[in-house]
Amino acid sequence: MTAARRDAAEQARLETLLTQVFEERITFNQLLGLKVDSLVPGDVRLSLAMRPELVGNFVQGRLHGGVISTVLDALGGLSLMVAIAERHPADSAMQVLNRFAKMGTIDLRVDFLRQGLGQRFIGHSEVTRLGGRVGSTQMRLLNDEGTLIATAAAAYIVS
């Protein structure tokens, strides 16, 4: 027997609330200027525009490595929230958000592949495992020209 799914209005409410949480309620994400581009399961994306405040190497104008790590970490968490919402299709938007309160990063590995140069950066994430207590993700950050800047793998407590 298949569990009832959220109706279209509740799904839209969930997507609006997830976007608000990530763009406005997590003030560090707001400070960085993170924007949710996609909440489609398997195609979760965030982006941010380059600004002088995000530069780590002022001579070359490169994106700070801490910003890169933060974007990838936030992206992994967001993709897990989307996967959790899919796993619990009958949960209301508020029930899904309550699950978010229990999440936390327990491991993050970032590989810096190229200089963080560009006007805009786009992050893509994939959930590789969603267990009862731990979820794992792989993330990629590209610049506006499609150049792969960094990859990451992370694990999160999800319950």
pTM, full prediction = 0.93
Asked if residue 1 belongs to a domain, the reply is no
The one-letter code for the residue type at 120 is R
Question: Residue 60: pLDDT above 90?
Answer: no
Overall domain count for the chain:
1
CA distance 57 to 132: 41
Tokens in use for 119?
A: 């006007």
Q: What is the CATH number of the domain that holds 82?
A: 3.10.129.10
pLDDT in tens, 76-126: 999 999 999 999 999 999 999 998 888 999 999 999 999 999 999 999 999
Domain that holds residue 38: 8-157
Supply angle C-alpha 144, 148, 151, rounded to 5: 125
Asked if residue 79 belongs to a domain, the reply is yes
